[in-house]
Structure 1
Amino acid sequence: MDGDYIIGGVFSLHYHMHIVNQHDYTSMPDPLTCTGRLESMELRFMRVMIFAIKEINNSTELLPGIKLGYEIHDSCTSAPVAVHVAFQLSNGLDPEFNTGDNCSQSGMVMGIVGESGSSPSISVSRVIGPFNIPQVSHFATCACLSNKQQYPNFFRTVPSDNFQADALAKLVKHFGWTWIGAVRADTDYGNNGMAAFLTTAQKEGICVEYSESVLQTFSRSKIQRVADIIRRSTAKVVVVFAASGDVRVLFEELLHEPSPPRQWIGSEAWLTNVDLLRFNFGVGAIGFVIEQADSPGLKEFLLDLSPSNVASSAILTEFWEDAFNCRLGKSPAPGEIMCDGTQDMKKLQNPYTDFSNLRITNMVYKAVYAIAHALHKTLCQSIKSVTHCDKYKRIEAKQVLSELKQVNFTQSGYDVSFDENGDPVPRYELMNWQRSDSGSLEMVTVGYYDGSLPVGQEVHINKNLIFMDGLKELPKSVCSENCPPGTRKVLQKGKPICCYDCVPCAEGEISNITDSPDCLLCLKEFWPNARRDTCLPKPVEFLSYNEELGIILATFSSGGALLTIMTAVVFFRHRASPIVRANNSELSFLLLFSLTLCFLSSLTFIGAPSDWSCMLRHTAFGVTFVLCMSCVLGKTIVVLMAFKATLPGSNVMKWFGPPQQRITVVSFTFIQVLICTLWLVISPPTPIKNLNVYKKKIVLECALGSAIGFWAVLGYIGLLAFFCLVLAVRARKLPDSFNEAKLITFSMLIFCAVWITFIPAYVSSPGKFTVAVEIFAILASSFGLIFCVFAPKCFIILIKPEKNTKKHLMNKNVSKEI
């Protein structure tokens, strides 16, 4: 249609190009022609462009006084044909050159609407780009076309695949699917769209089991190979970025041998194609599609076809004959019928008349209006609220291109504008293939996506979804099950990051989240629970009065102290008896007092360590034992001195009488007190939490502070015990009736044996058993002294009183009886 300014149109009315197999190179080849079945959807796109131009020509607000014309071409989805068409539109349409002043630019194309596919759109853009002719596509979604350095003249009313890919990746992540298959068309649309999706999916932690390409022109063996991969795969979710023709050949192959149920995630290019709804295994398919829209008067225009106005157009004639299966205006072939005029468009069931899906159709409508608004800005001026347009104004296409970048208008309730990349604001509806009451598949809108909303709030689902196999339950598609708390993920060698093994956390480590990549080490005073998902305080261990071992040791300690006191009572009541007087009663009472303190000192080792108990337990034990050893040493010296005093001319007893004995005990004890004082002043024992003995428990114990001080205390006790043993051994055969030196020898042997074995036992015993070993050594040596030194005397005093006489003690012949 002629006009003052021309808008070009490029649509894929056919999907096949006639190919000349042989050339003789002696004549010009035949023109490129399109063949195959007429695509009803593309025909509707063409008719919508005509509708929009007629609506603009009838408008009094947009381009008043200017008539737009159009020239529409068929590219048959072929890059060579698209290039040929682009050159035709760029060359101008006037058959002759007019030099007059008052002539319109009807031969100049001011803008081009199309193409539907990304690859043909790229071909068109590269041809018309140097001429600055703007191109506005309604369905070319390849993200590559947003590159303004390569395609500075390209705009589109449909969102870029980058937005759709980002939305689909977020949708897959929303449902928790991390193990997917990827199928793409082997075109610019499919390859670039899938590349954008996989980039976003990788950021979302989604892994791809396989990535395959299909194309409707592929051989069946290639399509069959892709279908077999889908059948054998473990991924239940398949994301398909392809045109409807490419998906159709794949679905037809899967129809021969159905695969296990698959959750299909689709791109706009095929998900809205009603022809694909015949594949029942596609139930539950989901994806984002362009918003539904309806322009007033459009449906009536599309249905306003009759044999009379169809006959003037070869394209419409082809459509009419194919839709009603009849011949129009020419003799029918055998088996065909003539179109008799009874055919009614309103009764036709065809994608052309399916007005439930006017999504991309509205994109064509927007594209025409966008070019018209850019022309309006270039040609028209408003003077006192009156718009004047000059149809004779000579303009260039680059002026329209410049104004197109700034357009911002609302048409039929929908905003139209372009960003710096020529892309609109991304808005989608979430589409779901669901089974209707009749059993057929239908498209149901279940949510939406709005790219203008804040990050994380773009996707909204407001209706129930149906998933694969018609189920309402959300299917799972993961390479490995989630690792529960208490485990960590270990990647499987040679596989994607979504394939992993769940390994329990090591000792002392936990993980408290699902799919934790690492385990966290518990703090020193904490230990994992059985599930290893939380850290609990370690139980504290010390020798307590509430446990059996502590009770037993405390009982023996108290019993030993009580026994010692009872012995002292017996000695006190019989203090005038010969056997008590003969054994240095003063040192005996002092020894019993020190033994009582030794037994009681062991009680300081039981219970939770504190500052005072740690200092008291070692010093009290050290001082009382030295007091004990000093008394034993004094008694041993007295025995030796007494024997020597019986020799003629000996007066040694005057050198070791009671005063000297007291001084000896006090002196030896004072040295130990001095050692303990220095120990406490320089580096005293302190309570600590020992975390090294056990992994799962804390041992409360007393740190020695100064190890030298501790071993000095023990060493001094050992030195006195050694002297006592040496002197007792020398005096063991003295000829008296009651040889106390022999009893002291036995007690010292027991004492030394206990403390010699104490050292390795003390060093090797863990935790509270270290304290138990020390208490045992104290009790054993104390019981050894009281039983060896005092038990024989108490036996005579209480059981054999007849032997408790001076005569019996002086009688050397009865010494063997004792």
Structure 2
Amino acid sequence: MSQLRYVAVLVASCTAVLGVSYHKEGTVILGGLFPIHGYKGYDQCGALLGPSRVQRLLAMAQAVDDVNNNPDILSGVTLGYAIYDTCSRESIALNQSLNFIQHTCEKRVACQRQIQYSNLVGVVGASFSTSSMLVSHLLALQQVPMISYISTSYLLSDKTQYPFFLRTATPDNLQAEAIVDLLQYFNWTYVSLVYSDGGYGFEGMRSLQEKVAQTDICIATVQQVCRSSTDRHVEDVIRKLQSYPEARVVIMFTTIFETNMILSASLRLNTTGQFVWVGSDGWGTTTEEMSGNEMAALGAITFQPASCAGSFTAFNADNNNPWLGEMIEAGMIQNATCNQTTAEACKTVMAAERDDPIVHYVRDAVFAYAHALDSVIKAFICNPPKNISCSILFNFITLTAVPPPPPLRDALLNTTFEGSCGRVKFDANGDVMGRYDVRNLQRRADGGFEHVIVGKWDSIDRSIKIDLDKHVDVSDPEILWVPTSVCSEPCPADLQRIQRSNPCCWDCVPCPDNHVVVNGTSCVQCTLLETVDDNECVTIPPVWLTHSSLTGMILTAISLGGAVSTLVAFFVFIVHHEHPLIKASQISMHNLSRLILLGLFEGYTHVMVICTKPSYVTCLINRLMFGADFTLIYAPLLTKLNQVYRIFSGASTSVVKPRFIGSHAQVFISVLLVLIQLLLSAVNLIMTPTKVMSVPTGSGEEREVELACLTRESNLQEVVASILYNLLIILLCVYYAFKTRSLPACYNESRFISFQVYTTVVLWVAFIATYFSVSTPMNR
């Protein structure tokens, strides 16, 4: 609404209209709006701009001549032009556009100097997007279409707001895509953004933010620079950019005016080389625009509409050009052979070092009008079966102040032709297919500067191609500088990424012990049976007590020695059973002694089973024999002590022989005590089936996995039951050993038994305390 109010005020006022134009008569007229001069202030024009801006002006005039000289287009109809200078200012562009509309300004002297174009069919321009927005609103009142050659704001694609606006330039939303593709090409994920005030900068900034939001790129800071900004404000912007040192790349959606303000501030603050400037098409056309700031911009990467083969540095001009004298004096035109006081045409050659890529889009705009008008004439005028030529009928319509046919805009949208750089076709929004040149500001060997095309971008397949080795001068190349512009480097595989407030910034920290990094963002703990190897959870090879280990060899040696000794004793006991020493013991107790020797042998062989790899069979043997080893030794010993005690204690009170003191009864009692132990183990086997388990042991780098039958927790009930049962038998042995301490000498083996039992008690107390206090599970 503010723009419409601005338009209404200026249309009503008819003041400050410069009225100077470069014009040529024709059957129909094309208007032109070009920034030929700079802006001085207070709606006054400044100095003449560089050769590139003059090229655009003359390119329109030459394109009109080319159309008129082409017999296949607009046969019998000639194009004319009326080109006005916008002086690089929106308000002046709007004032100049008043020359293109029908209006009456009574009692106003300023309006009497205006030229009215009743045969105007369209306007080529304007340059800046903000100017095009204002002018398009004004021209829409008369349904006059407008084709811009450089206005790129995405807002202008909105046909509800700008129904009569088209452009041969690529809109900013595609430029934003091109910039994002460039950032991804160089892996720049952390950048800053500077934009100018007005529609061009703001919409460019907004489009870029929308495209960046769809990627993993982050914008560190967004800063705005206005034409009215003071030097101090612009320097503060540079300091703000410096506060994000990781963001080496600065994207600039600015016009050349704000760009020079930023580059000048960079020179004053001596920040040259700290940033890589990535510029939009608002600057980077020619080095003449940079006003001595080339060193600050050295290495800048800019986007410009794609150029094509062919030179347009030579143009035709005549003395109707009101700025011809200025151009000659400024050295922008050489070899001028015309006399400005006559109407004789003159040949001019532009003095620009390179073609301005925008001239192609100026020419395409003129030819778009020509082809659209040609189709309108043939479709809407020549169809009636009347013997009247198209040119006569078209002249009649246009010269009688009848507005151009309404279908002209639709004809433009449906126009397809071969333009300067390829096929031109407008979409429903009045936009064309996007192609950009990627340019790099380099320094030549002679000290000059030049924008060198180092890449291409195409919107058809979203492809970008960069040639890093392309430079302006082979003798002294300035290779494209590609710095790192990321907030945080990727974390090593074994470090976790801890996110900061910005998604592109993080800290790399180690994971806790026995953890691996997953997706770089989280730590996941390996299982107790796994260890970390190259940031992967790797299963720890299980270990077990083997005969080849030091401990296994010691235990095996002791077990073998004990087993052999037991067998020797058993053999001697059997072979020499008639020996007086053996006969010294009662015959009834011989079987109990054999059972004790059998228990000792079983205990020694059990140790060797423990040193084998755990399996279902070995685990079953270990669980059954864990308690039976001791029971098989101490059950016969308890029975023997009980027998001796009962014999001698009963002899003092009765002559009757005690019951169950026979050899077979004693063996039966001993076996019964062993079976009770086996029954306890069998019950536990039913409650907790036997299985081989991997049990973690140790910690840190000393972590191991032990192959075991059952952990302490799962086998606790069985262990407690076996230990308590054997402890009861041992304590009973202690009791009877104490009671039989005073027997006759020939029967006083209780002393030896007591010593052995007391020693066992001490060892068992130590064993039980150790077993239930250590933290490492044991094999059994």
User: Structure 2-normalised TM-score?
Assistant: 0.83
Q: Aligned letter for 2:491?
A: C
Q: Equivalences for 1:178-217 in 2 at 5 Å?
A: 178-217=189-228
CA distance in 1, matches of 2:225, 2:331: 29
Aligned to 1:241: 253
Aligned to 1:24: none
Equivalent pair of 2:298/2:443 in contact (CA under 8 Å): yes
Q: Equivalences for 1:188-337 in 2 at 5 Å?
A: 188-230=199-241, 234=245, 235-261=247-273, 262-275=275-288, 279-294=294-309, 298-300=312-314, 302=315, 304-305=316-317, 309-310=318-319, 312-323=320-331
Aligned to 1:441: 449
Q: Equivalences for 1:310-459 in 2 at 5 Å?
A: 310=319, 312-323=320-331, 346=349, 349=351, 353-354=352-353, 356-381=354-379, 390-391=393-394, 392=396, 396=404, 398-412=406-420, 414-453=422-461, 458-459=463-464
Aligned to 2:766: 757
- Compute the displacement of 1:52 (Å): 1.3
Q: Residue 439 and residue 684 in structure 1: after superposition, are their counterparts in 2 closer, same or farther (change >3 A)?
A: same
- Compute the displacement of 1:592 (Å): 0.6
Q: Residue 742 and residue 758 in structure 1: after superposition, are their counterparts in 2 closer, same or farther (change >3 A)?
A: same
- Compute the displacement of 1:289 (Å): 2.0
Q: Residue 272 and residue 547 in structure 1: after superposition, are their counterparts in 2 closer, same or farther (change >3 A)?
A: farther
Equivalent pair of 1:526/1:538 in contact (CA under 8 Å): yes
Structure 1: state its 5+ residue gaps.
20-31, 96-104, 329-337, 775-818
CA distance in 2, matches of 1:48, 1:466: 29
CA distance in 2, matches of 1:562, 1:691: 36
Equivalent pair of 2:543/2:706 in contact (CA under 8 Å): yes
CA distance in 2, matches of 1:108, 1:431: 41
Aligned to 2:578: 576
CA distance in 2, matches of 1:724, 1:603: 28
Where 1:446 maps in the other structure, the secondary structure is strand
Where 1:737 maps in the other structure, the secondary structure is helix
Aligned to 1:517: 521
- Compute the displacement of 1:401 (Å): 1.2
Where 2:82 maps in the other structure, the secondary structure is strand
Q: Residue 465 and residue 572 in structure 1: after superposition, are their counterparts in 2 closer, same or farther (change >3 A)?
A: farther
Residue-by-residue CA offset, 1:717-755 (whole Å, 9 max, x unaligned): 222222222222211222323522222222222323333
Aligned to 2:3: none
CA distance in 2, matches of 1:546, 1:192: 79
- Compute the displacement of 1:710 (Å): 4.1
Aligned to 2:693: 688
Residue 107 (structure 1) aligned to one of 118, 139, 158: 118
Equivalent pair of 2:27/2:119 in contact (CA under 8 Å): no
Structure 2: state its 5+ residue gaps.
1-23, 107-115, 384-388
- Compute the displacement of 1:587 (Å): 1.4
Across the aligned residues of Structure 1 and Structure 2, the Cα RMSD in angstroms comes to 3.5
Q: Residue 520 and residue 375 in structure 1: after superposition, are their counterparts in 2 closer, same or farther (change >3 A)?
A: farther
- Compute the displacement of 1:54 (Å): 1.7
Equivalent pair of 1:15/1:39 in contact (CA under 8 Å): no
- Compute the displacement of 1:118 (Å): 0.9
CA distance in 2, matches of 1:63, 1:554: 112
CA distance in 1, matches of 2:535, 2:50: 61
Percent identical pairs in the alignment equals: 26
- Compute the displacement of 1:12 (Å): 1.6
Equivalent pair of 2:51/2:332 in contact (CA under 8 Å): no
CA distance in 2, matches of 1:763, 1:502: 43
Aligned to 2:683: 678
Higher alpha-carbon deviation: 151-160 or 564-573: 564-573
1:13 and 2:36 correspond: yes
Residue-by-residue CA offset, 1:599-632 (whole Å, 9 max, x unaligned): 2112332243221111110102323332222211
Q: Residue 228 and residue 688 in structure 1: after superposition, are their counterparts in 2 closer, same or farther (change >3 A)?
A: closer
Give the length in aligned residue pairs. Answer: 716
Residue-by-residue CA offset, 1:279-313 (whole Å, 9 max, x unaligned): 134332223321113567x443x2x45xxx33x43
User: Structure 1-normalised TM-score?
Assistant: 0.80
- Compute the displacement of 1:442 (Å): 2.3
CA distance in 2, matches of 1:218, 1:198: 23
Residue 562 (structure 2) aligned to one of 560, 571, 576: 560
Where 1:489 maps in the other structure, the secondary structure is strand
Q: Residue 175 and residue 604 in structure 1: after superposition, are their counterparts in 2 closer, same or farther (change >3 A)?
A: same
Equivalent pair of 1:157/1:363 in contact (CA under 8 Å): yes
Q: Equivalences for 1:87-166 in 2 at 5 Å?
A: 87-91=98-102, 107-166=118-177
- Compute the displacement of 1:226 (Å): 3.2
CA distance in 2, matches of 1:528, 1:360: 61
1:700 and 2:710 correspond: no
Q: Residue 475 and residue 550 in structure 1: after superposition, are their counterparts in 2 closer, same or farther (change >3 A)?
A: same
Residue-by-residue CA offset, 1:412-456 (whole Å, 9 max, x unaligned): 451111223222111112222233333432232222111101x5x
Aligned to 1:503: 509
Equivalent pair of 2:188/2:485 in contact (CA under 8 Å): yes
Where 1:159 maps in the other structure, the secondary structure is coil
CA distance in 1, matches of 2:638, 2:539: 51
Higher alpha-carbon deviation: 73-82 or 132-141: 73-82
Equivalent pair of 1:432/1:465 in contact (CA under 8 Å): no
Where 1:121 maps in the other structure, the secondary structure is helix
